[in-house]
Chain A
Amino acid sequence: MIGLTTEEWTAVRLSLEVASRSVLVSLAPAVAIAWLLARGRFPGRTLLDALVHLPLVVPPVVVGWGLLMLFGIRGPIGAPLYEWFGVRLVFTTEGAALATAVMSFPLIVRTVRLGLESVDPGLEEAARTLGARPLDRFVTVTLPLMSPGILAGAVTAFAAGLGEFGAVITFASNIPGETQTLPLAIYTATQTPGGEATAARLAFVSFSLAVVGLLLAELIARRMGRLLGRTAG
């Protein structure tokens, strides 16, 4: 039905890759930050909260520009990365993943935090009285009970990551096969004479992926709920 060309397939594959890598990169820090925001008592908590939510309100292009300043090969982080490890992020797939991760970070933190706040602190107290140390308690009680939130966060971030445009094009540019993800490919197609068919096909793929993502999230939420004994039986 949709007979994609090789180039178009490349864009689809790249989008999936960038989105998955962005989720992999941001998941652990998101859980840590969500925990700090929900349970931590330290000065500067409000500041951290604001900082995490910044990408939601700042224009994506500005986020991309900020990343360029920080991670460019002359930037304060980019320079040592390049000189010591030979890692270059600008104009690479990894860079696209980083930009996507930064953009979807607030989403994933919010969802994970909601999941964490639904965990009864009384259960963690019970674990304490049973001799569980902090890390033990987190791994055996808190983490499994907040896992629906983590999964929901991951799926949402993945779905949103498939469509990240502004930050990616600014920081990683629009290189076919490297950083040209679905939205970038659609944009390019609309700018090219005779590209309407390509744009339509890719838009359809984009739409389908979003729907599948939503259904998957719902299905996972139900399964997890049953596993965690939220519903009897």
Chain B
Amino acid sequence: MIEIALRHRFGRNGFALDADFTAPEAGVTALFGPSGCGKSTVLAAVAGLLRPQEGRVVVGGDVLLDTARRVFVAPERRRCGVVFQDARLFPHLSVETNLRYGLRRAPRDAAGPTFEEVVDLLGIGHLLARRPAGLSGGERQRVALGRALLARPRLLLMDEPLAALDAARRAEVLPFLARLRDAARLPILYVTHALDEVDALADHLILLESGRVTAAGPVEEIAARTDVPLLAGRRDAGVLISCTVLSVAEGLAALSFEGGVLVTTARPGPPGTRLRVRLRARDVAVAVEEPRGLSTQNILPVTLTSIAEGSEPGEVFLRLAAGPTTLLARVTRDSVARLSLHPGMPLWALVKAVTLDHRVTGAVAGDNSSPTTAVPTARTRETQPWPG
């Protein structure tokens, strides 16, 4: 368990951070929030680069910071690898020397991947002799990932590692992040303000708004909540669903989830691949009787469990149960009255597959015309775990 509790005020009346959360020892915990919410400050405090006025940071039983007991472990002894937004490669050293910088300073008994494994994982073998100035933004970020990982950290901290990159470079680096997550058996704290990175990488989600934690928990659980304005107010508000590819034929893939099957034109990988899709609430409609003669492929029998306030005055969220899985639909109050929708009512959910947007991830090479949010979840692909 990673315990983080921080209180810090910048200046007399400046920004105040008051965040308190725990993160699991495994997987990716995303710190998500708008810019200026304090998420990078949290990361700096965990790394030790910022000394908060009050706080406690415990990673795997080791106390890195405890202001009450006057404990402050220096950043160089914390073994928290950091990937900065701007890569921060040493310009006077070659890529190889950059990569080995942390490795040479890591404790001898620290377990972790070898130099060759990391170079292979990140596809940077052809860059080793180059200087950082000669690399593209995406290549630089891959080298920075490798350098942090080779320092054999107990925790990886990533501070918006993709934010400085354009769309094409992000698409280039994101699969490597997914690979690293699957291969490195390390907890990762991932700061971002991009929801698609959360969908693609996170297992656990911490929402931060103006210095405070507004929600925390498994990412799929949080995504299904309608009482979190930061998420519910977005155009892409909706649930995340873990799926397994059942079959792929004639350009259509069937994805099974607990509660039904979804059909998509995306190419999510061979049968058996596990992935995560986002079903946006605005792309889900409901019908009170089984619809016929529709072009919509995905029609699921569901039960209406509750009606929640929407983010717009005239709208509500319908919480629908498809087996154990929750779906969200965004409909107007008018429709609720017209169809006299009430909890417990059996309904048909129409998922307009064509309006789901696709995101490029580790397993799926990009094709922007194909429609499903196909995102491999953690521990999906076969990877060779490293010892330790």
Interface residues of A (CB under 8 A from B): 120, 122-123, 125-133, 136-137, 140-141, 144-145, 227-233
Q: Quick one: which of A120, A123, A131, A140 contacts B76, CB cutoff 8 A?
A: A131
- The complex places the Cα of A55 from the Cα of B312 at a distance, in Å, of 71
A144 touches B49 (CB 8 A): no
Interface residues of B in 74-117 (CB under 8 A from A): 74-82, 84, 86, 88, 90-92, 101-102, 105-106
B362 within 8 Å of A (CB atoms): no
Besides A130-B105, A132-B101, 5 new A-B residue pairs in contact (Cβ under 8 A), listed by A number:
A126-B88, A129-B47, A129-B75, A129-B148, A145-B91
Interface string of B48-66 (1 = CB under 8 A from A): 1100000000000000000
B134 touches A131 (CB 8 A): no
A230 touches B75 (CB 8 A): no
**Which of A123, A129, A140 has the most CB atoms of chain B within a 10 A radius of its CB?**
A129
A122 touches B84 (CB 8 A): yes
A125 touches B49 (CB 8 A): yes
Measured between beta carbons, the chain A residues less than 8 angstroms from B105 are 130-132, 136
**How many residues on the B side are at the interface (Cβ–Cβ under 8 A)?**
29
**At the interface, is chain A mostly helix, strand, loop or mixed?**
helix
Q: Quick one: which of B48, B92, B131, B151 contacts A130, CB cutoff 8 A?
A: B151
Measured between beta carbons, the chain A residues less than 8 angstroms from B47 are 129
B92 touches A145 (CB 8 A): yes
B134 touches A232 (CB 8 A): yes
- The complex places the Cα of A229 from the Cα of B133 at a distance, in Å, of 5
What are some 18 contacts across the A-B interface (CB < 8 A)? A122-B88, A123-B90, A123-B91, A125-B49, A126-B82, A126-B84, A127-B90, A128-B48, A129-B148, A130-B81, A131-B77, A131-B106, A133-B76, A140-B101, A144-B92, A228-B91, A228-B92, A229-B92
Number of A-B contacts (CB under 8 A): 74
- The complex places the Cα of A129 from the Cα of B49 at a distance, in Å, of 8
B39 within 8 Å of A (CB atoms): no
Q: Quick one: which of A122, A136, A232 contacts B86, CB cutoff 8 A?
A: A122
A131 touches B79 (CB 8 A): yes
- The complex places the Cα of A145 from the Cα of B90 at a distance, in Å, of 9
Measured between beta carbons, the chain A residues less than 8 angstroms from B132 are 229
B101 touches A130 (CB 8 A): yes
B276 within 8 Å of A (CB atoms): no
Measured between beta carbons, the chain B residues less than 8 angstroms from A230 are 91, 133
B212 within 8 Å of A (CB atoms): no
| The 4 A-B residue pairs with the shortest CB-CB distance in the complex, in nearest-first order | A131-B105, A229-B133, A130-B102, A229-B91
Measured between beta carbons, the chain B residues less than 8 angstroms from A233 are 133-134
B147 within 8 Å of A (CB atoms): yes
Interface residues of B in 111-169 (CB under 8 A from A): 131-134, 147-148, 151
- The complex places the Cα of A199 from the Cα of B373 at a distance, in Å, of 85
Measured between beta carbons, the chain B residues less than 8 angstroms from A227 are 92
Q: Closest approach, in angstroms, between the C-beta of A224 and any C-beta of chain B?
A: 9
Q: Closest approach, in angstroms, between the C-beta of A200 and any C-beta of chain B?
A: 46
- The complex places the Cα of A9 from the Cα of B92 at a distance, in Å, of 41
- The complex places the Cα of A171 from the Cα of B82 at a distance, in Å, of 55
A128 touches B133 (CB 8 A): no
- The complex places the Cα of A145 from the Cα of B133 at a distance, in Å, of 14
A128 touches B49 (CB 8 A): yes
Measured between beta carbons, the chain A residues less than 8 angstroms from B77 are 131
